[in-house]
């Protein structure tokens, strides 16, 4: 299965087709509510545009922790353009880039020449593609969250070794002992590594999972 990706930050661009202007915004959105807020903001920012067509894909588990994280919520809207000529090709561009947690809005200023259904689909899809050409992509990788209870004297050494094995360190809290929280790509192999580093004294505890965003 192809890993899902997202974008690092908002991108914008403007394209022109037969004097019609297409202003595209592609932004991050973790939930359906966030995606709809981006769409509403684009509509407010360009009130003179005749259409504000949109598409988004978000992780379904953001609103429902029990949902399958590999299942996404997908929506598209033609906003008055002929059915299937705007939102669907925009959504297809997001799917084609294997994106999630992203929303696209294209605001159109009519230039006086009708583009036809095929022309509209190419224009809206092309506007999203052009915006994405300016984006930096991040691959979303599932990581298991683990906690390790360590002696103060050994936490620095263990943390350094874990970082060297691609472990993401989330934080350390200090009390009677040091509690190191990490996100790991392979829980079994990291547990074995910790055992070797601590002569078997420390057994990591699993504490859920998260998705890390790694630059492509």
CATH code, domain with 203: 3.30.70.240
- The last residue of one of the domains, among 84, 113, 135, is 135
Claim to verify: residue 152 and residue 116 sit in the same structural domain: no
> Do residues 78 and 64 both lie within one domain?
yes
Claim to verify: residue 92 and residue 191 sit in the same structural domain? no
For the chain, 216 residues long, give each residue's pLDDT as a single digit of tens: 577 899 999 999 999 999 999 999 999 999 999 999 999 999 999 889 999 999 999 987 654 444 455 578 999 999 999 999 999 999 999 999 999 999 999 999 999 999 999 999 999 999 999 999 999 999 988 899 999 999 999 999 999 999 999 899 999 999 999 999 999 989 999 999 999 999 999 999 999 888 888 887
Examine the domain organization and report whether 105 and 153 are in the same domain.
no
Side-chain half-sphere CA neighbours of 90 within 13 A? 35
Judgement on whether residues 112 and 185 belong to the same structural domain of the protein: no
The tally of domains found in the chain comes to 2
Q: Extract the tokens encoding 3.
A: 């890993």
Q: What is the pTM of this model?
A: 0.81
Same domain flag for 83 and 143: no
Residue ranges making up the domain that contains 64: 5-135
Do both 131 and 144 map to the same domain?
Answer: no
Residues 174 and 129 in one domain: no
- CA gap 116, 112 in Å, rounded: 12
pLDDT tens per residue, range 188-213: 999 999 999 999 999 999 998 888 88
- Whether 76 and 126 map to the same domain: the answer is yes
d(CA 215, CA 83): 36
Q: Are residues 60 and 48 both part of a single domain?
A: yes
Residues 115 and 147 in one domain: no
């Amino acid at each position: 299965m192809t890993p899902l990706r997202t974008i690092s930050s908002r991108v914008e661009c403007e394209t022109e087709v037969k004097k019609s202007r297409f202003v595209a915004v592609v932004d991050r959105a973790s939930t359906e509510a966030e995606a709809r807020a981006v769409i509403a903001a684009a509509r407010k920012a360009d009130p003179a545009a005749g259409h504000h067509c949109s598409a988004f894909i978000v992780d379904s588990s953001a609103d429902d922790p029990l949902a399958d994280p590999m299942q996404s919520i997908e929506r598209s809207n033609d906003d008055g353009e002929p059915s299937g000529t705007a939102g669907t090709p925009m959504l297809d561009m997001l799917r084609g880039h294997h994106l999630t947690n992203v929303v696209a809005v294209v605001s159109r200023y009519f230039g006086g020449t009708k583009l036809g259904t095929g022309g509209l689909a190419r224009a809206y899809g092309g506007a999203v593609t052009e915006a994405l050409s300016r984006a930096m992509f991040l691959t979303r990788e599932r990581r298991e969250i683990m906690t390790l209870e360590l002696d103060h004297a050994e936490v620095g050494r263990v943390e350094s070794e874990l970082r060297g094995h691609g472990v993401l360190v989330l934080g350390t809290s200090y009390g009677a002992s040091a509690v190191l929280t990490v996100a790991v790509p392979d829980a079994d192999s990291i547990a074995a590594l910790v055992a070797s580093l601590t002569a078997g004294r420390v057994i990591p505890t699993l504490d859920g999972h998260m998705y890390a965003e790694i630059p492509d």
